[in-house]
Amino acid sequence: MSQIESGGIKFFYEVRGNSDSSETIVFLNGVMASTASWNYQSAVFENRGYRVLLHDFRGQLLSDKPAGPYSFKMHAKDVIAILDQLHIDKAHLIGTSYGGEVGMRIAIDFPERVKTLSVIDSVSEIDELLKLHVRNWQKLAEAADPVNFFWGMAPTCYGSTYIERNRPLLQMRANHLAEFPADFFVGQVELYKTFLNDLDLTPELHKICAPTLVVCGEEDILKPPKFSKIIARNIPDSEYVLVPDCGHVTILEQHRPLNSVLLGFVTKHSGCVL
């Protein structure tokens, strides 16, 4: 298992693809996700000569889970520290949900390190309904029952078509959650608190100067398209894509059309990739 230490915290990371490429894709996880969640997207970029960097945030699966509170600025600095240690000066950031929010924070605070920014199913502000959803997740995480946790959060994450077609696969994911480290839920609670207490990016979105793609599932219940439209309106010259028949987890539910959009956008803003 590869780890990088920064500020006394150990971060799990993976480097895939062409390690000599000057073009690096950094995937930024959703709150409940891991590096494996990006397998559909990572393979597409690896096969086209990109270097791919993935890691678990502080509080996530295989990284350390220090006591909180955390902040999005803290996450952004963690990512930059990892890039520094791997001698990556500038990268394409692709983040889903919580990872997209971290990506926006990086693009605001460290604009010189960002080639492009792709934000998938994310928000720059929170309304009361979203707060209720995440507070319910927090209660489920505090109870630490893996199967109940999974099925408790599933209706807010996956679209109806995906659930209907993938019940056995979803049950496998629920069962697999029981194999996660005992401190998984401890980290989840801290991450939910960070989301609820520290997310207010809209007033700063105009500072983002990197080419930006904003993507949202049309049936996203958790972070519906109205939030992605706010992001797209406030980031200068951003591009907005709405994915039909898709809930919150676009990276899994509609990975084929999403991959086409991501690859086209990043390639348009890349140098020559061998």
The structural domains of the chain, ordered by start, are 3-125+196-268 (3.40.50.1820)
73: CB partners within 8 A, 6+ apart? 105, 109
Average pLDDT of span 154-180 = 95
Asked if residue 30 lies in contact with residue 99, where contact means CB atoms within 8 angstroms, the answer is yes
The pLDDT, as a whole number, for residue 182 is 86
Give the DSSP letter of residue 42: H
For 208-266, write each residue's pLDDT tens digit: 999 999 999 999 999 999 999 999 999 999 999 999 999 999 999 999 999 999 999 99
The pLDDT, as a whole number, for residue 217 is 98
Q: From residue 14, give the alpha-carbon distance in Å to each of 2, 33, 93, 95, 113.
A: 7, 15, 15, 16, 19
Full-model pTM: 0.97
Average pLDDT in the chain: 96
- Report d(CA 161, CA 172) in Å as an integer: 18
Compute the C-alpha angle 231/222/246, nearest 5°: 85
Share of the chain above pLDDT 90, in %: 97
Structure tokens that stand for 22 in this block: 């000057």
Residue 96 in 3-state DSSP? strand
Average pLDDT of span 112-138 = 98
> How confident is residue 162, by pLDDT bands cut at 50, 70 and 90?
very high
100: CB partners within 8 A, 6+ apart? 28, 118, 119, 120, 121, 122
